Amino acid sequence: MTERIRYLEEPEQVRAALSPLRRQLLGLLQEPASASQLAQTLDLPRQRVNYHLKELEKAGLVELAEERQRRGFVERLFRATSAAIVVDPAVMTTGEERAFTRLHDQYAAEHLVETAASTVREVARMQGKAAEAGQRLLTFTLEAEVRFAEPGDLHRFTDALTEAVRRTVEDFDAEGGRPYRLIAGGFPRPAGPPSTAGPPEQPSTAGPTEQPSTAGPIEPLPPQGDAS
């Protein structure tokens, strides 16, 4: 059965998936195909495609989907084991870099990156476990845009948001309930064409639209909120 998301935290698996050709193969193998079919699609020698398929199979990124009896040989059809791949950011950094990004400065970009990486890691793992159990993971997402007149406003905004989160947490926190981890972070919008839309958009929410899952623990929500 094909997973929706495959979480990679082993360096060997990451190396097996990262080459451009193998990424192409994984994309094509969302539908079962043979080495000959793939070679024809990519205009490559079948032997070369077959080699990369074997490496992807060894890494657990593709699997045998079907065998078809042809005249004089058996045709093997492969498929990708997941619809998408998420790579643990820690695999791509050195020990020194990981130590550096463990800074707990509320306003450090490194801390935001580390927190976001941790979120990717935890949600991907839990989603994988939920999929194995035939369940869906209940999550929510909140996005908004705010424009600060001066740098000091960012700090005042963070303090106000922290207090608002603290009050909201107190209203909804239930002893014995399932703990959720709430993360809030902000960063400058990437440069692009100036917006002519006027005021910033109102916060939009995505979810919760899925059934709760019991797959894997979620860190308890800090009583004072987390506006990192």
Asked if residues 225 and 167 have their Cβ atoms less than 8 Å apart, the reply is no
Task: Answer yes or no: is pLDDT of 155 > 80.
Answer: yes
Q: What is the mean pLDDT of residues 53-69?
A: 88
**pLDDT score recorded for residue 97:** 45
DSSP 22: H
Flag whether 153 is in a domain. Answer: no
Count up the domains in the chain and report the number: 1
Query: What is the rounded distance in angstroms from the CA atom of residue 52 to the CA atom of residue 114?
Result: 33
Cα separations in angstroms, 13 against 100, 130, 172, 189, 218: 25, 22, 41, 33, 26
The CA distance from 145 to 149, in Å, is 13
Residue 30 lies in a domain: yes
**Cα Rg of the chain, angstroms:** 23
Answer whether residue 151 shows pLDDT above 50: yes
Asked, for residue 204, whether it belongs to a domain, the answer is: no
Peptide bond into 217 cis (omega under 30): no
164 lies in some domain: no
Q: Is the pLDDT of residue 148 over 70?
A: yes
pLDDT tens digit sequence for 74-112: 889 999 888 777 666 655 554 444 444 443 466 677 777
Helices (DSSP H) in 101-225: which residue ranges?
Answer: 109-132, 151-172
Buried b (16+ CB within 10 A) or exposed e, 63-73: eebeeeeeeee
pLDDT band at residue 2 under the 50/70/90 scheme: low
Which carries the bigger pLDDT value, residue 201 or residue 73? 73
Give the lowest-confidence range in 59-63, 110-114, 121-125, 167-171. Answer: 110-114
Task: List the domain range (segments joined by +) for residue 59.
Answer: 3-85
Domain-embedded: residue 215: no
| Each residue's pLDDT tens digit, 175-225 | 889 899 898 889 998 886 555 444 455 554 444 444 444 444 434 444 444
Q: pTM here?
A: 0.46
Asked if residue 61 belongs to a domain, the reply is yes
Q: Model confidence over 26-52: pLDDT tens digits?
A: 889 989 999 999 999 999 999 999 999
Give the CATH number for residue 70. 1.10.10.10
Q: CA dihedral defined by 89, 93, 99, 103, rounded to 10 degrees? A: -50
Q: Is residue 36 part of a domain?
A: yes
